[in-house]
Every structure is written in C-alpha cells, then in structure tokens.
Structure 1
Amino acid sequence: MYGLKERTMASYDAYGDYHGNYTDHSYTNGANNTDQETHTHSQYDDYHYSYDDYNLYSFDDYDMLYDDHIYEIFDFEIVIYGYLWPILVIFTACCNLLVIGGFLRKRMRNPTNLILVFIAISDSLTGIVTLPATFYVFSGKHIFLSKDWCNVTMVTRLYISRAFHTISIWQTVLLAVHRFLQIRHPNLASRLCTTKKTLAAVGIMYLVSFLLHMFHAFDIKTNGGFCQWELRKPCGWACVYIWASLILNHVLPCVILVVLAYKMWKSLRKLNVNVSNKTVREKKERARKITLVVVLILVIFLVPELPYGIYFLITMILKLVKGKILPLKTNRAVHTAYEVLLVLSFHLNFWVYCAMYRSFRTSLKTICRKLQCQPEPPFHSEENMTSSINKDYELVGMTSDTQQENI
C-alpha cells in the first residue's frame, strides 16, 4: 500500500469508502504491508481525545502546516484506474456518442428514445469528469497531493461524478416506468409519457441530484496532512447524507427496478404474437421487442448496482450496530470492482441497441455514410415501409409521442 497508515478519526476516501482507524505511524511506499494494519478502537479513542485537547479540529488553520497531503493508493488501483479506467471510459463515451447521434435523428425521436439519449449522456459524464484527477493520481502514482489537486480529486469523485450517476440511476427508473405504463396502462401513458413531461422529469433529476450531493461541494477534504473526507463524531448531517445517498442511490431504485422488470417480463411472456392479422402481429412484435430491450437494460443496470447496494447496506448496518467496518483494502477492492462493472454496463447498452433496434442500426449506417461523404440511400430500403394504402407510420417513426416505437 502507498501512503500513511495512521488515522485520527473515522474517514471516507475519494470513493466514499469507509476508512479504518489505523494505529501504526509508519510510512510505506510500494509495499503491501497490510498485515500491520489494525482496528484497535481503544487506541483510536485515546488518540482521538488527544486531538481534542490540542484543539486540532480547526482544519483551516492546522492545514496550513502542510504543503502536500497523503492520499493512499493500493497497487491494484494503479493498474485499474491508472491504465484500464481511462480506456474504458473513453471507449464507452465514444459508443454513447453514437447512441446520442442515432436516437436524435428525426425519425427516431420519441420520449422513450429521448430517455435513452439522456442515459447515455449521464453515463458518459459519470466517468469523464473523473479522468483528469484519476489519470494524474494513479498513472503518476502521486501519493502526495497539493491542496488543489486533493480538492479536484475528491470533489470530482464524491460530488460531480456521483451526481451524474444518481441522475443516470433515476433516468433508468423513468425508462422502466414509461415502458411499464405503456404495456399495462396505455391510456395513462398517453397522458404522462410525453416529450415535455419527460424533459421536465429529467430537469428535476438534475436539480435534485446535485442538491443531494451538495454536501461534498463545500466539505473540507484536506485534513491534517491527509487527503480524505473525515466522518466526525457525532457525524450529524454527514450521517443524514450517507443514509439518504444509500436509500436514494441504491435501495429504492433497485427495489423499483426489480419489481418493474419482473412485471414486464411476465407481460413479455404473456404477449401472444401468433395472430392472423398481419398489422396486429407486427405491432405486437414491435411492442415485445421494445419491452425486451427495456428489460435487458434493467438487468444490465442491476448487475453492478444490486450487489453493491447490498454491500453498502451491510457496511452501514455493521457500523451502526457493532461500530466495526471491513478493512480499507477490502472496501477499496469492492468499490473498484463496482466501478469497473458500472462502466462496462454503460457500454453494454450500446450493443443491446445494436442487436435489438433495427432503426438504430439504420441510423448508425447513415451516420457512417455521412462521415464518409457517401449519399444516403432511400429510407424504405431498411425500414420495410408499408404501402401508402396501409400507412403504418409506426414502422417509419412518424407516430405521436406516446405511440412511436421504432424497432
């Protein structure tokens, strides 16, 4: 492990993971001396009260004694965040640019596709905003950070990135609600699932998410020579924020999405496409494919979120009931695995669209032709337009806000 092993108070690092209370006062650089780490609470309490006696909680004054601040780094983080993370984030962002370009084409615009565009934007920004600090800290193995670099690292990861991810979470919930209403309550969906109301809902998500994580915008991150967020005793509003974040970021969205995914899957199995009328059969097949796309997106979303939410909940219960936590390295490893799975799930959405949305594949081909300065072929060659007598506009994306379903 890189960095200092001493902690004066319970603290969270730039990932929001709970730090142990170390009693060893030695520095390590490059070696994984985790066998020296302990969680002796009696020694922690003595050290904690000695800091009270010297009134070292005036961090604004005390922090002036330090030019650099210790930020702990583990060896596996250097490999993942220093080299793998930038590649994954940039590649996912490029795929999401294609998603945005594909679904914003005139023939593809509808409330459902609009939500997919917003999800792609928030997913990309969740990773992109962390790149400057992540690359600097982990690729350069900087365990000593200036106050400015510490604040940039902590604020981008704890505040900005987390706010964008919260937005992405609730946009996924909005997508599930839209599709559930469209297959179970179409009359209600025609009134609620419109473009204007979708834009209003997304705007509210941005406002509430940044307000929720505003706690980290002004909190002190350079404390006594360390780059960390310290959870003081009593924690007060910090504990309120932690529990609110746990409930709103993990527990509530996961419960809602599991329930809606199960109900939509049951509806998907009951949807009978073996009907004699060709027009009705095609409409049911389109509805079935769209529902399947939404269910796949929900499952992909739940793969990293559900286990991490359970882990986060267990960690907080252990801290509340027993006053104990798991080792710092364990917390870091779990969070690293969660973030890697998260950015991979962002990327998998693109391939779901490619596999399931025929009109999305058509849009991608059109974008590629424009980039190569090639003429665009007639639209009906890809979309299999019906005759002018039937005028099944659903096939070409010309229906109303609530009925347009391009496959």
Structure 2
Amino acid sequence: MVSGIHGYLSVVICFFGVLTNIFNITVLMAKDMRTATNYLLTFIAVSDILTMLPYIPYVINFYCPFTHPEETPWKYTYGWVLYMVIMVHLLATTHTISIWLAVTLAAFRFCQIRSPCPSGPLAKDRRITQVKIASLVIYLASILVLIPNYAYTEIEQAWVPESNSTVYTIKEQELATPRTEYAVFINILTYAIVAKIVPCVLILIFSGSLLYHMGIKAARRRQRLCANRQQANTTRMLLVVLILFILTELPQGIVMLLSATVPDFSNNVHFPLGDLIDFISLLNNAINFILYCLMSQQFRKKFFNIYIKPVCDRRGHVATSNSELLILREQVPRTMTMTTHDDNVRV
C-alpha cells in the first residue's frame, strides 16, 4: 500500500521542493540578505535540490506505478539500475552534507548568541568567508568519507522465466549474519554513526545550549531594540529547522545500527519502512521554505518583493493599459455618432 502511493506523493514533494528551494536560494542570496547564516541555509538548499532532482526520474520509473521486476522487466534494465546505484550514493552524500551543514549552522548560531560578534562590513565579510570555507570542507569531506560505500555496491542480473528476459538489481547486503562481509559491516556502521547519529547528537547539544542561553537572556531581550527581537525570531526559526533534522535523521541512524547488528532486523523492519523513511527525508528537504515564510518576516517581505510584487505591478499595468484602451474605443464611436447626427440635421 505504501509503495503504491509512495511514487506519486514523492513526485509532488520533489517538484515542490526543487521549486521552493530555488526560491530559498534567490531570496537568501539577494544583495541585502547575504549573511553568514543565510549562506549556510543556501548551501543546505543546494544540497536539498541535489537530493530531490535526481530522485524524480528514479521514482517515476520504479514507483509510478510500483511493480516487481518479473512484472515489468523493462524497468529493470542495466541502465536504470546503474542510475539507481548512482542516485543512492548521491542521496547518501547529499544527506551527509545537509546534516553536517546543519551542525555548522547550530554551532555558528550558538557562538553568535553566546558571544556576539563585532558588527561592521569587515566582520560580516569575515564570517561569510569562514562559512564558505566550512561548507566547502563539508562537501569534500562527505564525498571522501563515503568513497568505501560507493565501492561496495554491486549490480547483479537475474533471469525471469515469466517474461523470458533478464533483469538487473542491486545486490542485497546480508546484514547481521555470519555471511556479512566485514567491509560492508564497517561501511554501514560508519555511515550510521558519522552521517546520522553523531551530527544529530551535536545538533541536539548546540540546540539545547541555544535554548538555555535564550532562556536566561529572555528578560534582557524584551528590553532590546527591534533588530535584536528579529535576531531572536531568526534563532527560533533555525531551532525548528534543526529539530526537524534530528527527528528525521536520528531514527534513521538508529535503524541502520540495529540493521547491522540485530539478526533479521533489516528484512523485518528496515526494508518495509524504506519507502516511508525516504518520503520523510524528502519532506524534510522540501519544508524549509514554508518554515521561512511562517517564521521570518524579513524572508516574507523579500520573497514578496522578488516574486509577487513584479507580477502584481505587471498585471496592474496591463489592467491600466486595457482600461485606457477601452476608454479610447468608447470615445471614438461616440464622436462618430455625434458627427453623423449633426450631418443629418444639416441635411
């Protein structure tokens, strides 16, 4: 049942997520919106697009509608399964990038709240440079850490007597059994710990610290200027983003650890929940735009000025032009009628 609707829901979420993350990038990178925090949110949006965009052809082919290899062998050609392998590795990489960018975001915001940074364009440029370097390191490190995971994925072929054809699938990795390969076991543990559990724990620590410092300074913040209240609202919005990362990624890390260590857990629990886990991850990739609009007045205003206001102005201009044209059209016949009437009178 889940597989039957997973494909169609995922296509909708992916198209929505790609579009809204493009909105996020263009708004956050507007000239007057470029801050270190917004650069981090932009890099997360880029990673989210890289997650959802390649997922669209994959899910359309294999899940719209969902079928088994023996029913539709043409879906399981070598080319499509190779694309599946590339997509699986790309998704693992982009998820790793996103969550470590979230860790960087939490740590950076914690440092800002605990020890306010000096103001001024030079200090702002310095923070932006630091964020760019940290993001580049995260992108490269995530790829390097997952190289062993790329190497141990194999494609195997199988003969389907019902359709008299050959299909290709990704070779299943037997986990938590005596036949489990040591390298595969290490790869699963590394991915679960490095890409899921450790970053979630760090986000939890920094988020808790943020809440603590916001709490002990609440009375002081009430007396500050509007700019500082806006900073507090931004911190709350970022906390929601970070909490969603924890709720999405931490259960996945725990499930992966149990799959690697508990016999039959992978087949009985992890595999049946695979589509649901993927859908929740996609939802987390696509929801940030809604959070920004709901919780950031500055983001709403900038989005309105970039995308909504020009459309309204254009329609208003077209409506005004049409009205003027209509007036001219109405005036011309009236003049002609009056002239004709006068002529008739003279005759």
Shift of 1:129: 1.4
Residue 267 (structure 2) pairs with residue 328 (structure 1): yes
Q: What is the deviation of 1:325?
A: 1.9
Match of 1:137 among 53, 58, 62: 62
Q: Report the counterpart of residue 200 of structure 2 in structure 1.
A: 254
**Bigger radius of gyration among the two:** 2
Cα 1:248–1:188 shift into 2, 3 Å:
farther
Matches within 5 A, 1:109-128: 109-128=34-53
What residue is the counterpart of 2:326 in the other structure?
Answer: none
Instruction: Tell me if the contact between 1:273 and 1:284 (Cα under 8 Å) persists in the aligned partners.
Output: no
Corresponding residue of 2:311: 372
> Are the aligned partners of 1:130 and 1:153 in contact in 2 as well (CA < 8 Å)?
no
Q: Residue 335 of structure 1: CA displacement?
A: 2.4
Query: Which residue identity is paired with 2:42?
Result: V
Q: Which residue of 2 aligns with 1:153?
A: 84
Say whether residues 1:227 and 2:169 are aligned partners: yes
Q: 1:188 to 1:172 in 2, by over 3 A?
A: farther
Task: Specify which of 192, 210, 232 is matched with residue 264 of structure 1.
Answer: 210
Output the CA distance in 1 between the equivalents of 2:214 and 2:285.
24
Q: Please identify, of 114-123 and 330-339, the stretch whose mean Cα deviation from structure 2 is larger.
A: 330-339
CA separation of 1:314 and 1:360: change in aligned 2, threshold 3 A: same
CA distance in 2, matches of 1:129, 1:369: 29
SS of match in other structure, 1:231? coil
2:8 to 64, 83, 91: 83
Q: Is the 8 A contact 2:200 2:245 kept in 1?
A: no
Higher mean alpha-carbon deviation, 171-180 vs 196-205, is at: 196-205
Q: Aligned letter for 1:114?
A: Y
1:162 aligns to 2:92 (yes or no):
yes
The answer to whether residue 116 in structure 2 is matched with residue 186 in structure 1 is yes
Q: Does 1:238 align with 2:184?
A: yes
1:114-140 residue CA offsets vs partner (Å, 9 max, x unmatched)? 111111111122122122122111215
Q: CA deviation at 1:273?
A: 4.8
CA–CA distance in 2 between the matches of 1:92 and 1:119?
12
Structure 1 residues 5-39: Cα deviation after superposition (integer angstroms, max 9, x where no partner): xxxxxxxxxxxxxxxxxxxxxxxxxxxxxxxxxxx
What amino acid is aligned across from residue 261 of structure 2 in structure 1?
I
Which amino acid in 1 is paired with 2:259?
Answer: T
Aligned to 2:143: 210
Compared with structure 1, are the counterparts of its residues 312 and 276 closer, same or farther at alpha carbon in structure 2 (3 Å cutoff)?
Answer: closer
Distance 1:180 1:240, change over 3 A: same
Name the Cα RMSD after superposition.
2.6
Q: CA deviation at 1:338?
A: 1.9
Displacement of 1:201: 1.2
With over 3 angstroms needed to count, the CA separation of the structure-2 counterparts of 1:289 and 1:222, relative to structure 1, is same
Cα distance change of structure 1 residues 241 and 275 upon mapping to structure 2, 3 Å threshold: closer
Measured in 1, the distance between the counterparts of 2:25 and 2:102 equals: 16
1:344 is the counterpart of 2:286: no
Give, in whole Å, the separation in 1 of the partners of 2:211 and 2:43. Answer: 24
Counterpart amino acid of residue 222 in structure 1: I
| Structure 1 residues without counterparts, runs of 5 or longer | 1-74, 319-323, 376-407
Distance in 2, matches of 1:188 and 1:230, equals: 54
Give the Cα separation in 2 of the matches to 1:112 and 1:331: 35
1:311 is matched with which residue: 240, 255, 262? 255
Q: Quick one: which amino acid aligns to residue 78 of structure 1? A: G
What is the CA–CA distance in structure 2 between the aligned matches of 1:342 and 1:292, rounded to whole Å? 22
Q: 8 Å contact 1:272–1:284 — kept in the other structure? A: no
TM-score of the pair, normalised by structure 2? 0.76
| Distance in 2, Cα, partners of 1:240 & 1:327 | 16
Give the superposition deviation at 1:271.
2.1
Mapped partners of 1:109, 1:198: distance in 2? 12
Q: Deviations over 1:46-69 (max 9, x none)?
A: xxxxxxxxxxxxxxxxxxxxxxxx
Once the 2 structures are TM-superposed, how far is the Cα of residue 364 of structure 1 from its aligned partner? 0.7
CA distance in 2, matches of 1:243, 1:192: 39
1:197 aligns to what?
Answer: 130
Q: Give the match for residue 323 of structure 2.
A: none
Q: Which has the higher helix share?
A: 2
**CA 1:224/1:347 → structure 2, altered by over 3 Å: closer, same or farther?**
closer
Which one-letter code corresponds to 2:109 in the other structure? R
State TM-score, norm by structure 1: 0.66
Distance 1:216 1:229, change over 3 A: farther
Offset of residue 213 of structure 1: 2.4
Aligned length: 292
SS of 2:225's partner is helix
CA contact (8 A) 1:163 1:213 kept: yes
